Amino acid sequence: MTATTQSPYFVPRRLGHVNLWVDDIPTSERFYSEVCGLTVEFTEPDLVATFLGTGHTPHDLGMIQKTNGVDRYGKDGLLQLPGTIGLHAGLNHLAWELENEAELVEAFRRLKADNVPTDITVDHQVAHSVYMFDPDGHYNEFYCDTVKDWRSVLSGPMALLTSHWDPLSTDGFTEGRYDTDPVLRTHPSAPLQPRRITHAVLKTAKMAEMERFYTHIGGLRVVARREGVVYLGGSQASQYEHNLVLVPAEAASYDHASFQLDSEATLDKAIAGLRQQGVSIAREVSLPWKRSIFLVDPDGLGSEWYVRRDAPIDLTARGDVALSDAA
């Protein structure tokens, strides 16, 4: 890979969503909706996929059933999910929301000019996307919304949505088509009532390479360094403290996604509700800068549900809390 451009290629606003490979869609859908409170916004039965959220974006969390070695196709014969991927439950991709299509197109053209490899480029009907891998092999989607009122397009079971998109065939629109005043909703009877996804945590043995990818390619900014941990954020710094956390480790792994709650009272109510339903809380964390609980989903994947406190992050004061949990 050669990269001659000095300025970042992409400039994300925020982490739009996390997408997971799961073993069984109905089981995972029930967990993330009936326990975790995310609303099922739409599904793609032919893709064996479910998309859930609170309304800040078309989905905060996507999930696709493992391929088990069988190819799955999108619209117009697009090989969307080769059977060589999605063989195990885990992270499918992180998705980064850009300001508009013109920025996405320009970034793609610069990547091509600098011989930086990308994977597929697609039209999801409500978004245009460029996919590529980070140095640890994690898949990343850089996208722009193409329909502001996405709920008028996406609802319930949908026919196949995704087809090929050619970023070289257009200069792209310049207005932001994301909703600045979204209608939020959660599963009404779920113990957890989240507000939004805010960030993801990755463990890596390649800190320098991963930081370079997510800053130089991905366009995130380093907003803090604490005890070897790197915090990165998009352009919406006034709304999100950070959107990605890189934690040093012996091996690469997806650790968890973090979802913000409105208040400690909301978290207290959630904890009581989870216990009443017999849902196991993997860990509870109370630190000067945050209070959170961690859950483990049916596939063994972690998630954090937290409230931010006023104190600055000080990982030296974390006590016996694991670095990835304290971050």
Range of the domain at 77: 14-154
pLDDT band per the 50, 70, 90 thresholds, residue 307: very high
pLDDT at 5: 52
Average pLDDT over residues 305-326: 97
Residues 144 and 39 in one domain: yes
- At residue 148, does pLDDT exceed 70? yes
Domain assignment present for 174: no
Residues 226 and 320 in one domain: yes
pLDDT at 1: 46
Is pTM, for the whole model, over 0.85?
Answer: yes
Domain assignment present for 127: yes
Domain assignment present for 178: no
Residues 248 and 128 in one domain: no
Average pLDDT over residues 283-307: 98
Residues 28 and 128 in one domain: yes
Amino acid of residue 22: V
pLDDT at 14: 98
Domain assignment present for 292: yes
pLDDT digits 0-9 by tens, 250-272? 999 999 999 999 999 999 999 99
pLDDT at 6: 78
Among candidate residues 121, 154, 187, the one where a domain is terminated: 154
Among candidate residues 103, 133, 154, the one where a domain is terminated: 154
Task: Report the relative pairing of strands 90-97 and 139-145 from DSSP bridges.
Answer: parallel
Residues 202 and 129 in one domain: no
- Domains in the chain, number: 2
Residues 124 and 227 in one domain: no
Domain assignment present for 179: no
Give the chain's mean pLDDT: 96
End-to-end CA separation in angstroms for the chain: 32
Domain assignment present for 1: no
- At residue 311, does pLDDT exceed 70? yes
Average pLDDT over residues 208-234: 98
CATH number, position 121: 3.10.180.10
pLDDT band per the 50, 70, 90 thresholds, residue 324: very high
Domain assignment present for 116: yes
Question: What is the percent of the chain where pLDDT is above 90?
Answer: 98
Residues 145 and 240 in one domain: no
Residues 205 and 287 in one domain: yes
For 141-167, letters b (16+ CB in 10 Å) and e give bbbbbbbeebeeebeeebebbbeebeb
pLDDT digits 0-9 by tens, 130-144? 999 999 999 999 999
Positions of E strands within the chain: 14-22, 39-44, 49-53, 61-65, 72-73, 79-81, 90-97, 121-123, 127-133, 139-145, 156-157, 163-164, 196-204, 221-226, 229-233, 244-248, 253-260, 283-287, 290-296, 302-308
Q: What count of other Cβ atoms lies within 10 Å of the Cβ of residue 7?
A: 8
Domain assignment present for 147: yes
Among candidate residues 100, 123, 154, the one where a domain is terminated: 154
pLDDT band per the 50, 70, 90 thresholds, residue 57: very high
Residues 149 and 208 in one domain: no
pLDDT digits 0-9 by tens, 167-219? 999 999 999 999 999 999 999 999 999 999 999 999 999 999 999 999 999 99
